[in-house]
């Protein structure tokens, strides 16, 4: 049996096709929102996509079980990078999230998301427990998950910290937790809410309050949310057409090539375009989850589930923000929002899934 035949036969072309269909929609929107006034953004994004595809291919080739052994080094690296960014990071509007590498900026917190998935998968693999974990077993992994979350909160980047926390939570739930422990944690969570509120930064509180009551901050995030809603709603069924979104083109929409790019899709392509994008995402995530049930080991399954959760959270929060049912927290839309680190991480995730899918045929 020829190995070469197998390599191509067992590649999940459907997954790749779905991914690049979404990337293509993203590029069209990026062109519409920033391409004409700022072509550098458009070309930079293309370079990132090409780089990401290359990295994806590399990730695909190396056996994903290598990731298991690199869980610890990766974890230590991410923690170091997160500390580094706090000390040497570039300060942009009051937050240190970026490390400059020549002309490109790197966001270590993006890498943290995927590291959490890998580390949790590794931990689950080494500490198997059929009946589910109790508090005593959870203390150690919970401690290791809290460190990156606290470091990201310190940047401060509430949105990313929340996503990392949520990914960790999903991983814990998927690995299995005893019912009694689960109830105890739920109670603790509710009790901890007031303290979380106190420790928020002023502008973060303003954002949440202005989400609950948009008239509080008409020029700030309330304004973003309102303009985004107008953009989405005015797209109607069929949309205003490519390059025709008046909200986008007249720059009513702030951050329209990063966090609010979904409003561009919805305004220019209408319900047809926005629901098509959501269906594409749904196909992508369904494929990833079903891959989780077929993977040949638990580590692979956990990676698939974790990555599915990772995409779902980003997509849901980002779109919910654009349609005004979630506070403005600055979470990008996978494969679509402008931003190198994020695109790279998204494609690396796809590389991992392809890897898991392909390797279940090799024994």
- Give contact residues for another protein (rule: CB under 8 A): 93, 125, 130, 170, 174, 176, 214-219, 222-223, 226, 229-237, 246-247, 250, 252, 266, 270-271, 274-275, 278, 281-282, 285-286, 289-290, 292-293, 296-299, 301, 305, 308-309, 312, 315-316, 319-320, 323, 325
Query: In angstroms, what is the minimal distance from the CB of 104 to another protein?
Result: 19
Closer residue to another protein in complex, CB, 6/251: 251
3-state secondary structure of 73: helix
CB-nearer residue toward another protein: 200 or 226: 226
Q: Are 242 and 32 in contact (CB under 8 A)?
A: yes
Nearer to another protein, 311 or 338 (CB): 311
Minimum Å gap between C-beta 167 and another protein is 12
Q: Which is nearer to another protein, 83 or 182 (CB)?
A: 182
Give 198 or 219: the residue with its C-beta nearer to another protein.
219
Minimum distance between the CB of residue 312 and another protein, rounded to whole angstroms? 5
H-run or E-run covering 18 = helix 13-30
- Give φ, ψ of 133 to 5 degrees: -90, 150
Q: What is the DSSP letter of 257?
A: T
Residue carrying the six token digits 């990132």: 48
Q: In the complex, what is the shortest distance from the CB of residue 213 to another protein, in angstroms, rounded to a whole number?
A: 9
Toward another protein, which CB reaches closer, 99 or 285? 285
Closest separation in Å from C-beta 335 to another protein: 16
3-class secondary structure per residue, 167-234 = HHHHHHHHHCECHHHHHHHHHHHHHHHHHHHHHCCHHHHHHHHHHHCHHHCCCCHHHHHHHHHHHHHH
Distance CA 78, CA 279 (A): 33
Pairwise CA distance, residues 60 & 348, whole Å: 9
CB of 282 to another protein, least distance (A): 5
Cβ(84)–Cβ(99) under 8 Å? Answer: yes
The Cα 75–Cα 115 span in angstroms is 6
């Amino acid at each position: 049996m020829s190995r070469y035949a197998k390599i191509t036969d067992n590649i999940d072309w459907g997954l790749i096709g779905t991914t690049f269909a979404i990337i293509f929609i993203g590029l069209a929107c990026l062109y519409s929102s920033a391409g004409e006034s700022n072509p550098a953004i458009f070309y930079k994004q293309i370079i990132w996509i090409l780089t990401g595809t290359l990295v994806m291919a590399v990730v695909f080739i190396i056996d994903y079980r290598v990731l298991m052994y690199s869980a610890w080094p990766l974890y230590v690296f991410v923690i170091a990078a997160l500390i580094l960014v706090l000390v040497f990071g570039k300060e942009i509007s009051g937050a240190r999230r970026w490390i400059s590498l020549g002309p490109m900026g790197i966001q270590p917190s993006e890498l943290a998301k995927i590291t959490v998935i890998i580390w949790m998968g590794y931990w689950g693999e080494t500490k198997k427990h059929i009946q589910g974990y109790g508090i005593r077993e959870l203390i150690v992994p919970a401690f290791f998950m809290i460190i990156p979350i606290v470091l990201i909160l310190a940047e401060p980047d509430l949105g990313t910290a929340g996503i990392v926390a949520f990914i960790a939570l999903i991983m814990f739930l998927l690995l299995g937790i005893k019912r009694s422990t689960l109830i105890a944690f739920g109670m603790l969570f509710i009790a901890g809410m007031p303290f979380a509120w106190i420790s928020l930064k002023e502008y973060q509180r303003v954002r949440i309050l202005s989400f609950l009551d948009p008239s509080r901050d008409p020029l700030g995030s309330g304004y973003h949310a309102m303009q985004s809603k107008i953009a989405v709603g005015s797209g109607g069924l069929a949309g205003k057409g490519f390059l025709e979104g008046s909200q986008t083109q007249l720059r009513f929409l702030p951050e329209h090539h990063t966090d609010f790019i979904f409003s561009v899709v919805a305004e220019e392509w209408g319900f047809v375009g926005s629901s098509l994008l959501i269906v594409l995402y749904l196909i992508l995530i369904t494929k990833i989850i079903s891959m989780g049930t077929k993977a040949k080991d638990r580590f692979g399954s956990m990676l698939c589930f974790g990555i599915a959760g990772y995409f779902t959270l980003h997509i849901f929060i980002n779109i919910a923000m654009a349609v005004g049912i979630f506070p403005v927290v600055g979470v990008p839309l996978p494969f679509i929002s402008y931003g190198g680190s994020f695109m790279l991480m998204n494609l690396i995730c796809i590389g991992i899934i392809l890897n898991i899918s392909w390797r279940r045929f090799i024994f």
